Chains A and B, each alone.
Chain A
Amino acid sequence: MNLLELKKISKSFGGIKAVDEVSLEIEEGKIYSLIGPNGAGKTTLFNIISGFILPDEGKIIFRGEEITNFDIWQRASYLSRTFQLTRNFKNLNLKDNLLLSFDSPYENIFRFWQFKKKYEKEKIEIIKEFLNEIKFTREFSAKASEISYGQAKLLELTRAILKHHEILMLDEPVAGVNLEIREIIREILRKRRENGDTILLIEHDMNFVMDISDYVFVMSEGKLVAEGEPKIIKNNPKVLDSYLGAE
C-alpha cells in the first residue's frame, strides 16, 4: 500500500488553475522531490497536502484513509513539515521551540497541574542527542528571533524531524543557507532515509535534488509533467522544456 496518494487534485485561485489534476503516489522509505519553475504550483500542492488549503477537486489518501477534509492539526499526526520562509516561535527560546515537537501528556487543563520537570528532562536528552549529531551548538536559552537564518532552518528542520510523523515534507530546505549547513542538511536527510523515513521535498537546487532523491516529480503550470528517477528526469525533454525553457 502507498503511504500517500493524491488523486486528481485541482485548485484554482480566481481564474488561474494553480494545481491541475495532479495525481501522485508516494511509497515508504524514499526521498521524493517536487521540482518545477516558479509558479508551477509546488507550494500550493504542499499546502493542500498539509491542509492549509482545501482542494476544489480530488482526494488525498493516507495509508488507505481519505484525509482530504482533515484539519491541519489532525493531519499533523501523519506529517511534519517545514516552510520556505522559516516559521519558528520567535519569542520562545530554542528549548521551548524544540520541546513543542513532543505531544506532552500534561498539555490539557486537567493535567497541567501535575506537570513535573522529569518528563521534560527525558525529552531534552533526545533533543540534545540530535543536536550534537548535527553539530548545532547554540545555547538553549537563545530566543528563536536571535539566531541566524541557517540556524533557524536547522531549528525548524529539527523540530519537524523530532515530531512524530510518517512523512516529512520540506519546502526548500537548503534555500539561502551556506555550504556547511547545506552539507549538514544533506547528511541529516540521508540518515533519515537509512532509518526508513519518507521525505517529500521542494527544492530549486538541482544538484541537491538529483543527488539526494530516489524519485522526482516535475510540475509546470499546475500540471505534473513528468516523474521518474533522477537520472531519467535529468534528460527528459519535457522537463528541459518546462524547467529550463529549452527549445
Chain B
Amino acid sequence: MEIFNYFFHLGIIFSIYSLLVLSSNLSLGYGGLFNLALPGLALIGAYTSSLLSLKTNLPFGVIFVITLILGYLVGWIISKITNKLRGDYLALVTFGFTFIVFTLALNWESLTRGALGLPSIPKPKFLFFQIESLIEIFIFYYLITFIVYLFLQKLIFSPLGRSIQALRDDELAISVLGRNPLRIKSLVLGISGLLSSLAGILYAHYLSYLDPYSFGLGDLIFILSALFLGGLADNRGALLGTFLLIIIPESLRFLPLPSYLVGALRQIIYSLIIIIILWFRPKGIFGKIDLS
C-alpha cells in the first residue's frame, strides 16, 4: 500500500508542476514572453488561499475563486508595468517580482509567520465534499489539470491563440495587422498568473504546510528545464517534460546510494538532461519553435 501512496504522491506533484510548466509554456512558448514571475505568482496563490482558509470562515470554493482572480489581476498588472519590455529585460523584471514576493513572505511575519511557515492548512472542500484521502486529492487535481490542458489547447488553436503566437514572432507586424499587442500580453500574463496561483493553491492544500521557500529559484529552474526538454509551444511537450523531470530523478531512490548523494545527483541529472537536449535536439522533444 505504501508504494501506491508513493505513486499517488508523485502523481499529485506532477499535476501541480504541470500547471506551472503549462503556464510557462503559454507565456514563453506561445507568447514569447520570458515571464519568470511564475514562482512568485504561485506563492501569492498559495499564501492567499492558505491565509483565507486559516483566518476566515469563507467556503473553500469562494477562496478558490478569489485566489484565481487575484492571480489573474497580478499577472495583468505585471503586463502593464512591463509593457515596453521584451526578452532579457522582461525576464529580469519578472524575476525581481518573484524575489519581492519571496522577501515579503519571509519578512511580513505578522501575516505569514515568515520562515516558520503556515501549518495545518485544511484540505480542499467543495460544498459538502471534503477532499481528504490521497486518492481523492489525486483525482481532484488530475481533473483540474485535465480541464486546464483542454482550455489551453482550445485557446491556442483558436484565432486568439494564433494572434498570441504571432505576437511571439513579431510584435510590430501583429500591430500592423490591427491587433493591440498590449491587450494580448495582458491576457497571456493574466492567464499565466491565474494558472500559477492555481498551482500554488493545490500545493498548499495538499501538503497542508507552506513557507516562503515552497516556490523559488529551484522551481524556476525545474519549470524552464521541463519546458525546454518537452519543447516550447507544445502543451504535450510541457507535460512530457514535467513527467520526465519528476520521474527520472525519483528513480535514484531505488538505487543503493547514500542519501547525501541523491540530492546532488538529482541536480546533476537536471543539468545533464538539459545539456543533452540542447546538444541533440535544441527545440526539445515536441518543440516547434525557434526562439532565436
In the bound complex, residues from chain A placing their C-beta under 8 Å from that of B166 are 89, 92, 96, 100
In the complex, which residue of chain A has the Cβ closest to the Cβ of B181?
A: A73
In this complex, the interface size class of chain A, counting residues with CB under 8 Å from chain B, is 20 to 34
B289 interface hit (Cβ, 8 Å): yes
Report A60 CB to chain B, min CB distance, Å: 16
Size range of the chain B interface in the assembly: 20 to 34
Of all chain B residues, the one with the shortest Cβ separation from A83 is B173
Q: Is the CB of B180 within 8 A of A71?
A: yes
Chain A residue numbers with a CB within 8 Å of B43 are none
Please determine whether A100 and B160 come into contact, CB atoms closer than 8 angstroms: no
Q: Spot the interface stretch: B79-87, B151-159, B244-252.
A: B151-159
Q: Is the CB of B172 within 8 A of A108?
A: no
Q: Interface SS of chain B: helix, strand, loop or mixed? A: helix
Assembly CA distance A9 to B173 (angstroms): 24
Once the chains are docked, how many angstroms separate the CA of A113 from the CA of B174?
A: 22
**Cβ contact within 8 Å between B178 and A73:** yes
The A-contacting residues of B in range 143-199, CB under 8 angstroms, are 154-155, 158-163, 165-166, 168-170, 172-181, 187
Is B233 on the interface with A (CB-CB < 8 A)?
A: yes
Partner pick for B177 among A100, A108, A120, CB 8 A cutoff: A100
Cβ-defined contact, B175 with A73, below 8 A: yes
Interface pairs A-B: 5 shortest CB-CB: A104-B159, A76-B178, A89-B169, A112-B158, A72-B175
With A71-B180, A107-B163, A115-B158 given, can you name 14 additional A-B contacts, CB distance below 8 Å?
A72-B172, A87-B172, A88-B170, A89-B166, A90-B290, A91-B168, A92-B169, A109-B160, A109-B187, A115-B154, A115-B159, A120-B159, A159-B177, A163-B178
Could you tell me the dominant secondary structure of chain A's interface residues? loop
User: Which residues of A (98-141) have their CB < 8 Å from a CB of B?
Assistant: 99-101, 103-104, 106-109, 112-113, 115, 120
Contacts of B160 in A (CB 8 A): 104, 106-109, 112, 115
List the B side residues contacting A115 at CB < 8 Å: 154, 158-160
* A77 interface hit (Cβ, 8 Å): yes
